[in-house]
Amino acid sequence: MLLKIVQTGDPVLRTPARPLTPEEIASAEVQQLIELMRETMRDAPGVGLAAPQIGLPLQLAVIEDVAEVEATERTPVPFHVIINPRLTLGDERVDFFEGCLSVDGYQAVVPRARTARVEARDHRGEPVSIDASGWYARILQHEIDHLGGTLYIDRMRTRTFTTARNAARHLAGVAVPELLARLGETPA
């Protein structure tokens, strides 16, 4: 069964999510929710899905990325769950395009930390520590933003906001630094 992904404008996307208790994490309901979120994320298709995106204000996200793109430091990331995450960001910032399943059909350049450390609980409620860089760090930041009521449009370089269709039509092959220079923006 696929879950409905809510779109920007729904108040749940702007509400900080609440932490889950150890008992909730172990419950059959949350374990089933994780499986439904995995199916929904894969079907969308996406690389992450946070509980607020399906209308639930819970600090829970699922992540999986099967792609590999050297230019964006994107490497495959196996399926995993982060619950009640705490994020620490590195100092270096990198600009790149992002989209969101809850801002369907649009993209924009978003400056993000190149590296990130996440302390969280996994699907069993066990503590996990994740050190990520490149695209994986971007995914973690994006999904954890959802848990705090923040969307990428809050962080984007507004002059780069475009439909996905126009990005493919007009920006294919244009490097992000070149695009930012055309728009009079200073890279991160």
Q: Which residues are catalytic?
A: 143
Burial 78-93 (b: 16+ CB within 10 A, else e): eeebbbbbebeebeee
d(C-alpha 123, C-alpha 60), whole Å: 9
Bond from prior residue into 45 cis (ω within 30 degrees of 0)? yes
CB-CB neighbours of 77 under 10 Å? 19
**What are the structure tokens assigned to 117, written together?**
């450390």
C-alpha–C-alpha distance, residues 188 and 184, integer Å: 13
